[in-house]
Structure 1
Amino acid sequence: MSERRIQELERQLQQAKAREEEAKAREEEAKAREEEAKAREENERREKEEAKAREEDERRKNQKTTVTEYLHNCHFHLYQNLKLADASKSSTGLATSVDGRFYPRWLRPWKANTERQHHQQFEEIRSIHGEERLFHEQSTTKNIGTSFIRKKAGNEKAVEYFEKSAVEEPTWNILEPIWKRKQLCQRYQCADLRFTDNVRDFRDESDDAQARRTDITPAITPPKLKPDGGGIRKGLDGKESVAFVYDYKAAHKFSVKHLEAALAKETLFVDVHEWVLCEQYARDPELRKQEQEEARIAMALIQVFNYMLSYAVDYGFVTAGKSLVQLTYDRAEPLVLRWRLCIPNNVEAQGTTEAQISQLYQTAVAQLASFCLLSLRSTTLTGRSLEEALHHANIHLRLWKVTRYKDPATPPESDGKASPSAWPSRGTDKTYLSDGSPSTNKYPLRSRSRASCKDATMPSQTRDDDEGGDGDKRGRAESHQRRTRVGSSTNKRGQGSNKRKDSGSKNPASAFTRQYCTQACLLGLKHGYQLDRKCPNVLSHDVEGNGRHPLDAMKFTQLMAKQLREDVYEVSLALDGWGKCGISGVLFKLEMASLGYTFVGKGTTSMNPSHLTHEGKIYRKLSNLQGYIIPVHLGMVSLDPGYLLPGGARVAHMMLLSWAGHVASSKRKSEANRSIQTIYENGVVHQDQCAANLLWNAERRCVMVIDFHLASLIPEPKDDSRIRLKRKGNALQSDHGKRSLPRGFLQSVR
């Protein structure tokens, strides 16, 4: 092969190689462009996904949540944001005084209220709400939670703020949709359930002030008389009642570590009682920390236990932010208080799997929601049943620093139970110490005690200033009086109560079915007029068949007073559950069964009836307007021992009145002003013209004015203008048979 041919072949080979390299370069370039395009596409896809994720996250944060999402947010964005102050910087000492209060003999676990049952209740709540988005957005919940990070909780007020915002409000949010479903309302026999920090006890503060002024002992803040809060349920009939009560405690005084140890002791209350009586806290500075904590815990539980007794509810709890102690009291085992400890911090998982979601039943909100629904199973006692319940407590339970339980040995759990028929009386209960002296019954202290009990002294104990104060001698004396009055009030009715034993077992409201007598009827009774044939009870009134009232006003008041004293629960029904109450009093529906008279009584818990006496003077001043512009006033009666209200107060005096009607519509402002003006022109300034005191009366077709405890008399004028007004007022009185005000009179006051 020639050299030329070889060169040609080499050239062709080089060209082929160059073409191959060029093709490879083009291929690599194309591949690079393809990879670059893929990278751009991947970046675009990733950016879209990130944008979508951000959008989804933003939407999720700002959209309503399901019940499980809401519980999750409440726990991790509210509850876990609670920061506790250093215990060393907080106050020390024992809890609020419980001197003279009832205390249980045994403290036992609430076995009927298990974790499994709470989980079932949680699942029921989940099934009720399903996947509906009804609750606060995550962003809203987070914003609320930031306030708990900024300031550490070191006292009851801080815990109260936290509990209301982070636990009670979310619990109400979860329960609120339930009451919008008729079927669920029927299931729970409840139309609403709300939390309140104003549980009524109807005690008149003026009585306490008067007692402090006349007491020779130094002024000491009295023990707290009502709970920090309560659950108020609204029945299907519209009646409100207390379902449970509760107290807040600072976390350092109710720590989880000490709680678990204290609650495990069946004899906690008896043990602490003996330490207090022996003044070990005052004389033994080295008393173990655990015993001091047990004393705080015991007194906190006793405090709520007494609220449960006085409001006659089966359920209560004590909460301290990081812990919740649920309590129940069954009157079938009168010496036992049962507990269940909830520690929401045990919830750790933040995932969305079914297993992780199922842990949410342990959160504070879920625990409280379950407790609320559980409390609806019981019925709050009122009236006679409340009186009897406190009487039975008085028989079985002892009073702190006053009486002891005789035998400290722990019996089998079944020993704590007793049927009502087996409840002993004071005379047969051999463990009852009637004189209340610790010296009459020595309790063997444990070997670690360093001092013996003083036989003749009743030591006081140190307290926290921020939680109340020490109970003084007056407090213990008042407790003795309450104990005596509860027992004597039941016995005092004696045969009168037995005659009506069957009626006492019925629903109290069901026995009071009569309609109220008309204004014309009761005005006729007061002035001796003919019976009002339009009164719904006229047939019962006309016992003599002559169309006249069978008794005059004085005999009527005397007979009603007699019936109220014989058995106040038989002839009166408290209307406080329907909102008919004031600061220190309650409205009652009264029935004189024998003659059918049905009217109202304005009762007051004040031992000093000056308010009612003052109102009586106003009614007498406005006698010509009674039955037209104001109710008919039928006199005042005193009760002994009185009608027992939830919280322990008693109605001591009652003013008898005709039923005026219901709150007038805001559209009737002109009629209301006309009535107020009429009262003014008749010599009285009302001074409390709120909506609750302006009632529409369909019979008289006008606004009636009530509640004259703030009213004042206008000084008599020197001219004859008052005489002219009086004549106009007399025109009303003479027109007793008509059901509306005289036309000319209404025109004259415009």
Structure 2
Amino acid sequence: MSFCSQPRSQEWRNEYCRDLKVWITQFDGLRETVCSRELQQNPPSDDTNYVSPISPATSSEFQESLSPVESPRAPVRRVPTGSQGGCAPSDLGDHTGSVDSSGSEADYAAPGRKRGFSQVEVSPSQRLSRRNKRDNQRDISQRQQAEFCTQRCLLGLQNGGSLDDSCPNARIHQRSGDEVQHPINAAKLVSCLKQQIDEKIDRCIPFGTRGSYGAPFKLTCFPYGYTVVGKGTTSGLWRQHVSREADIYQILRKAQGSAVPVFLGKIDLAKIYFLHGAGQIRHMLVMGWAGESTAKLEQTAELRREIKRSKKTIRALGVRHSDLRPDNILWNAELGRALIIDFHRCELDCRPATERSRSLKRPQHKAQMPGAKRVRVI
């Protein structure tokens, strides 16, 4: 039966989990109760080396009893049938012969006989439920197939600039406004995303590989057509680590769209997204899609040069990343740049910008030997 049933949606889980009660259970007492009950049912035999599961010397190795007790089987009751031949042609002929030649079974159904599925009338509420289910499936399918907006598109949205013609969703943006300017700003986009997700949490589409501190989701805002990434995380990780990334992206605003992805805002979800392996997602950072992990790419000279360039950019703005693994450096083919993500472990350099700039430009000289004299140029 479990194989035939449809997977439960996130909306269904939120609705029913909200009404569930929580019982506090003492597992130690429960374990002793279960073990004593098992001893009463299956007492250890004299010829076995039995160790009490309650004693401290309990071994983790399972020891099977040499004299298992078989549970008594209830007598099987046979259902009387008119013929013991099973599905013989004569039996099929007897059943079908009682039906009128017109083929309609509804008018001549025997009393007490169950009607077929086609004969059961569908109530208006069932029709509405089926229609809503089809609409939801169509909505989810459109969101799964949506392409991500470009970094230039989102940078124009953030700064109040013009549309990016190379964005795959540019035509949808134009239908909601004029052909040049964005129809909304970044704050309005984040607000619309939150409203649509709070209505139906299944509009969050998980994709890609989750990290230690978050999992990526595809978020699409209708009718404007903006498709971005939501870094979803749990309440515990949000409080301890991830929430500070929003402040770091504001510090790195000048580097957005060149060394780091365009950051748009954050969302506190009204409902829970239950993601296997990640936990209960309650918060999201909203940003542009940065690209593919450099861990999967060939380390060419161009790639190494762009990675060094992005590292230098964020250092000049006073941010030490502290976790620059290849998975945290993504290659963006649109920009031809390496974009750095995941700033939950970063540290801030509080020195003045001019001093930080000098330290980055200062060459690394070799240590001067004792007694050596400097040459004075006249």
Give the paired residue count. 253
Q: Deviations over 1:528-564 (max 9, x none)?
A: 0011111111111122224111112221211111111
Once the two structures are superposed, the pairs formed by residues 10-21 of structure 1 within 5 Å of their partners are: none
- Counterpart in 2 of 1:385? 8
Q: Distance in 2 between matches of 1:465 and 1:512?
A: 46
- Counterpart in 1 of 2:360? none
- Counterpart in 1 of 2:312? 677
Q: Deviations over 1:356-411 (max 9, x none)?
A: xxxxxxxxxxxxxxxxxxxxxxxxxxxx835367579979x998888xxxxxxxxx
- Counterpart in 2 of 1:583? 212
Greater gyration radius: 1
Q: Distance in 1 between matches of 2:308 and 2:271?
A: 40
- Counterpart in 1 of 2:283? 653
Label 1:393 to 1:560 Cα distance change in 2 as closer, same or farther (>3 A).
closer
Corresponding position: 1:617 with 2:240:
no
Structure with bigger RCO (C-alpha 8 Å, 6+ apart): 1
SS of match in other structure, 1:512: helix
Q: CA deviation at 1:693?
A: 0.9
Q: Distance in 1 between matches of 2:206 and 2:2?
A: 24
Instruction: Give the aligned residue type for 1:558.
Output: S
Instruction: Give the aligned residue type for 1:535.
Output: C
Identity among equivalent pairs (%): 33
Label 1:711 to 1:499 Cα distance change in 2 as closer, same or farther (>3 A).
farther
Q: Deviations over 1:480-518 (max 9, x none)?
A: xxxxxxxxxxxxxxxxx9985224446956642122111
Query: Which one of the candidate residues 663, 666, 669 is aligned to 2:299?
Result: 666
Contact between 2:330 and 2:338, CA under 8 Å: does it hold in 1? Answer: yes
Query: Which one of the candidate residues 244, 250, 256 is aligned to 1:626?
Result: 256
Q: CA deviation at 1:583?
A: 1.8
With normalisation by structure 1, the TM-score equals: 0.31
Contact between 2:218 and 2:229, CA under 8 Å: does it hold in 1? Answer: yes
- Counterpart in 2 of 1:552? 185
Instruction: Give the aligned residue type for 1:567.
Output: K
Q: Deviations over 1:128-150 (max 9, x none)?
A: xxxxxxxxxxxxxxxxxxxxxxx
Contact between 2:189 and 2:221, CA under 8 Å: does it hold in 1? Answer: no
- Counterpart in 2 of 1:537? 169
Label 1:509 to 1:723 Cα distance change in 2 as closer, same or farther (>3 A).
farther
Contact between 1:633 and 1:657, CA under 8 Å: does it hold in 2? Answer: yes
Q: Distance in 2 between matches of 1:385 and 1:695?
A: 34
Label 1:661 to 1:648 Cα distance change in 2 as closer, same or farther (>3 A).
closer
Instruction: Give the aligned residue type for 2:192.
Output: L
Contact between 1:565 and 1:640, CA under 8 Å: does it hold in 2? Answer: yes
Once the two structures are superposed, the pairs formed by residues 197-596 of structure 1 within 5 Å of their partners are: 330-331=1-2, 385-387=8-10, 501-505=133-137, 511-542=143-174, 543-570=176-203, 572-575=204-207, 579-596=208-225
Label 1:640 to 1:679 Cα distance change in 2 as closer, same or farther (>3 A).
same
Label 1:725 to 1:526 Cα distance change in 2 as closer, same or farther (>3 A).
farther
SS of match in other structure, 2:235: coil
Label 1:678 to 1:508 Cα distance change in 2 as closer, same or farther (>3 A).
same
Contact between 1:641 and 1:650, CA under 8 Å: does it hold in 2? Answer: no
Once the two structures are superposed, the pairs formed by residues 165-204 of structure 1 within 5 Å of their partners are: none
Label 1:527 to 1:464 Cα distance change in 2 as closer, same or farther (>3 A).
farther
* Structure with greater proportional helix content: 1
Label 1:647 to 1:658 Cα distance change in 2 as closer, same or farther (>3 A).
closer
Label 1:648 to 1:503 Cα distance change in 2 as closer, same or farther (>3 A).
farther
Q: Deviations over 1:425-467 (max 9, x none)?
A: xxxxxxxxxxxxxxxxxxxxx9xxxxxxxxxxxxxxxx9999x
Q: Distance in 2 between matches of 1:398 and 1:530?
A: 52
Q: CA deviation at 1:606?
A: 2.9
Contact between 1:607 and 1:652, CA under 8 Å: does it hold in 2? Answer: no
Label 1:669 to 1:648 Cα distance change in 2 as closer, same or farther (>3 A).
closer
Q: CA deviation at 1:636?
A: 0.3
With normalisation by structure 2, the TM-score equals: 0.58
Q: Distance in 1 between matches of 2:177 and 2:142?
A: 29
Label 1:681 to 1:392 Cα distance change in 2 as closer, same or farther (>3 A).
closer
Label 1:386 to 1:584 Cα distance change in 2 as closer, same or farther (>3 A).
farther
Contact between 1:512 and 1:591, CA under 8 Å: does it hold in 2? Answer: no
Contact between 1:688 and 1:710, CA under 8 Å: does it hold in 2? Answer: yes
Q: Distance in 1 between matches of 2:265 and 2:130?
A: 29
Contact between 2:151 and 2:288, CA under 8 Å: does it hold in 1? Answer: yes
SS of match in other structure, 1:666: coil
Contact between 1:631 and 1:706, CA under 8 Å: does it hold in 2? Answer: yes
Label 1:562 to 1:654 Cα distance change in 2 as closer, same or farther (>3 A).
same
Q: Distance in 2 between matches of 1:635 and 1:498?
A: 36
Contact between 1:581 and 1:587, CA under 8 Å: does it hold in 2? Answer: yes
Q: Distance in 2 between matches of 1:648 and 1:612?
A: 14
Q: Deviations over 1:600-643 (max 9, x none)?
A: 01010234523232111111111001011100110000012221
